Structure 1
Amino acid sequence: MSNSASLHVVDRLIAGHRIPEAISALAAAADRQNPEALFRLGFWQVVGDILPRDLAAARVAIGKAASLGHHEAQMMQIALTANGSGAPADWKAARLLLEATSEDNYHAREVLGLIRDMSLKDDGSPAQALAAEPLSRDGTLSRVSAFLTPLECQHLMHSAADLLTPALVIDPRTGRKILNPVRTSDTASIGPLREDLAIRAINLRIAALSGSSVFAGEALTILRYQFNQQFRLHSDTLSPSNNQRVKTVIIYLNDDFTGGQTAFPNIKISISPKAGDAIIFSNIYPDGRTNTDSNHAGLPVLKGSKWIATRWIRENPFNVWKGPERVE
């Protein structure tokens, strides 16, 4: 049976809810060194839906698929190696994998070009300190000019484009998903499977700026606001929370639009986006009180599309596969 035919069988079994048979068929195809079967097996082991989550086993299967030239498996192997899923985080090993695959893998080649232009330490963190300009009197709101380069901004927008979906919330009356009445944007989270080395380096840069562990940051979230879309006045704090969002970093990815300022009405500050700039603010004071001065709004876009990247920083590091509320 051909490689593609084997996977068609798996798909039919899944569609027919014959899960044990589908698992057996996929395992048999993987044993025949079918790259797509190995990749799918590893993906199932990561997601933990059809198969129980087993990150170590997933890395073995994905690594085999990568060695057989499966491009998506190569990028996923690099991401998992760098962010420490299933084994300790290892930037050096991830970079070596990236360099080894860059000749035949366009995505790897693009990412390698980006990180070669960055000034990085051996662990992928920024080599230079980041200068922030205080905007508020108490210093809890600051701005960093040119936090990202134009190419880095483009990379984030491109990386999220196929993941964007309308922001939804659960209607407490019906239990159904409805459009978010507070945030009317499209949104995408770049999780650990899609965190290529350029994005990992950006997350490490955010950690350096915020004085936090990279493992305390939620998945980098990309937001796109089109005409008249906005994020109404809100706080980034959560109630209740076992692991509060203590800081927020927002990065402006473009500025070829009108409107869309970030407004902090309690301190009468309105920030006009500039591509590549970042703002950082504290949602909680050191004594644990909520900083209401950090309440903010993304004003309506009047023309064009506004793109931003947001990373919420939790008080304590957490296991990304268990969620930020489960602190160990």
Structure 2
Amino acid sequence: MTQSPAATALHLVSNGQVSEAMALLNNAADRGDVDALMQLAVWYLAGDIVSRDLTLARTLLARAVSIGHVDAALMEIALTANGSGGKADWPGALALLRTAARNDPVAQGQLALIEAMAIDTAGAPITLPVPEILSAEPDVIRFPKLFTAAECAHLAGVAATMLEPARVIDPRTGRWIAHPIRTSDGTAIGPAREDLVVRALNRRIAAISGTDIAQGEPLTILRYRPGQQYRLHLDTIQDAANQRVATVLIYLNEGYGGGETQFPAGNLTITPRGGDAIVFRTLTRDGAIDQSSRHAGLPVTQGAKWLATRWIRAKPIDPWTIS
């Protein structure tokens, strides 16, 4: 059986024949091969096989969408909303989602969640929960029921097929390595997978933290099973030029044993409640690392704990440079 150009290209790349793979895909794309168009778009987005070119990737995705590639349509919607390879355009992305929802059940589910949200024409929240101050030192605030149960389930569903053992940035190299103190499984929802639901939730996180959405690292989803935990730690990164200034935790479920969030300096232990968000500052007012923000995720004793985490930097970041 003859392999498709996309499958053959992947085989060529595995053998180090990148030029041959690109020539094959470009020829197939010129003939309207939708899988070749999608594969090229993914490579130009990832930037590992070829140099990253977000604008070209968007062009290739649009061509794939015009031929009927469903996954390309969902990716184009995400990139349109967050402005990768072009200007951020929430109304345009929403219009694309409505078009995709005519035939795609995944898009239909996303659209239903968006239509249930109280958001403005840019996707930002119109209302927020009333905050509860849990501690002054460390500075910890809770926003009850920031996310609905359906929104929490959506995040867990997006992450479920991408989970892998937790990683952390090595302060010596700046690379991601296996996490030495967190034993959960997790994944980051990067810009190519930041569907409109995730984008709107990231805007909600920015609103409760008083920051710009561009300051947030890609939303990380974590799953802790029995025995897994996050030992006592700080969220700041040693010697970072663009330091983490705040952390937002959102508990995506409840009904499991253990898994409390503990801040020893404040004698504070938080019992997770599904949909609740916790915001805490990681720096003092003079910009020093706030040692009182040291915290732990206690071991889960039964069931599974799902958590969303968004680390927020002092200045905007390029989400494509963070895994």
Structure 1 length normalisation: TM-score? 0.93
Alignment correspondent of 1:154: 153
Which residue of structure 2 lines up, in the alignment, with residue 283 of structure 1? Answer: 282
Aligned to 2:212: 213
- Residues 1:50 and 2:49 aligned together: yes
Contact 2:182 2:229 in 1 (8 A): yes
C-alpha deviation, 1:168, in angstroms: 4.1
1:236 paired residue number? 235
Alignment of 1:75-224 (within 5 A): 75-137=74-136, 140-168=139-167, 180-224=179-223
SS in 2 for 1:60: helix
CA distance in 1 between counterparts of 2:170 and 2:200 reads: 37
Query: Distance between the aligned counterparts of 2:107 and 2:25, measured in 1?
Result: 27
Q: Residue 263 and residue 8 in structure 1: after superposition, are their counterparts in 2 closer, same or farther (change >3 A)?
A: closer
What is the CA deviation profile of residues 234-262 of structure 1, one whole-angstrom value per residue up to 9, with x for unaligned ones? 11111111011100000000112011100
Structure 1 stretch displaced more, 31-40 or 195-204: 31-40
Deviation for aligned residue 1:323: 4.6
- How many aligned positions are there? 320
CA distance in structure 1 between the partners assigned to 2:227 and 2:95 by the alignment: 45
TM-score w.r.t. structure 2 length?
A: 0.94
Further displaced range: 284-293 or 31-40:
284-293
- How far apart are residue 170 of structure 1 and its match? 8.9
User: In 2, distance between residues paired with 1:67 and 1:32?
Assistant: 14
Pair 1:6-2:12 in alignment: no
Tell me whether 93-102 or 287-296 shows the greater mean CA deviation.
287-296
How far does residue 181 in structure 1 lie from its aligned partner after superposition? Answer: 3.3
| 1:168–1:140 CA distance, 2 compared to 1 (3 A) | closer
What is the 5 A alignment of 1:66-81? 66-81=65-80
Q: Which 5+ residue runs of structure 1 have no aligned equivalent?
A: none
> CA separation of 1:295/1:12 partners in 2, compared to 1, >3 Å: closer, same or farther?
closer
In 2: Cα distance, 1:179 partner to 1:105 partner: 37
Shift of 1:160: 0.3
Which runs of 5 or more residues in structure 2 are unaligned?
none
Residues 230 and 12 of structure 1, relative CA distance in 2, 3 Å threshold: closer
The letter of the residue matching 1:50 is I
* 1:292 counterpart = 2:294: no
Aligned equivalent of 1:310: 309
- Give the distance between the partners of 2:137 and 2:10, measured in 1 at CA: 58
Deviation track 1:226-285 (CA, whole Å, cap 9, x = no partner) reads 011100011111111101110000000011201110000111010000001110000112
For residues 54 and 163 of structure 1, do their structure 2 counterparts lie closer, same or farther at Cα, with a shift above 3 Å needed?
A: same
User: By how many angstroms is 1:321 displaced?
Assistant: 2.3
Aligned alpha-carbon RMSD (Å): 2.1
SS in 1 for 2:280: strand
Contact kept, 8 Å, 2:128 with 2:146, in 1: the verdict is no
Contact 2:190 2:320 (C-alpha < 8 Å) held by counterparts: no
Amino acid at match of 2:22: I
2:261 is matched with 262
